[in-house]
Amino acid sequence: MSIEINLLPWRDWRRERRQRRWRVMLLCALLLGVATGYGAERYYASVLDAQRQRHALIERHAQALRPAVLAAERQRRRIADLEQRQAALQEHLDRRAEVLDIFNGLAGTRVDGVRYSALEQREALLVLRGSADSHRRIATQLQALEASSVFAAPSLSEVEPFSGGWRFRLSVVLANWGERSI
């Protein structure tokens, strides 16, 4: 006679226990995954929210500084405009000494009986129009201009008679043009 031991219920009980343990571990893993996912989502949401707040703060500060930036830009344009005006004024002041030299030279070399009616300057060339009582006065005027330290190479280009004498057009080169100092 042999004794039979039925191990089937014990095996079933053990299989049930392993399945329960597996289900519990699976449920725990699932809950842990959901919790980790939710935690990660909350963390990144808070990081994103903090970044948005920083951007909003920066934007508010930028908006607050915008009038100052615009004022600085207007000031920069105004400074550039003033510098241009100053350069133009300085150029006029530099030219003033040259213009004074030209007129002083013309006044110092003018011969009696010669009248200037127009003066035109093109860089170092000065074109003079005027009238004189006679040819002799025009010739004397040319000699006086040539003897001057302000003018060089006078050249008579046109002479024509009119009721009160002679009209003339002459040109002279300005000596030391551009080398004058203030």
- Domain residue limits, the chain: 10-109, 113-174
Counted residue by residue, the chain has a size of 182
Cα-based distances in Å from 134 to 6, 31, 46, 65, 168: 158, 122, 102, 76, 10
CATH class entry, domain 113-174: alpha beta
Q: What is the pLDDT of residues 34-70, one digit of tens each?
A: 999 999 999 999 999 999 999 999 999 999 999 999 9
Backbone angles phi, psi at 163, to 5 degrees: -60, -30
pLDDT given at position 181 = 45
DSSP letter string, 77-88: HHHHHHHHHHHH
Nearest CA among 119, 113, 92 for reference residue 174:
119
Backbone angles phi, psi at 180, to 5 degrees: -70, 145
The model's pTM: 0.50
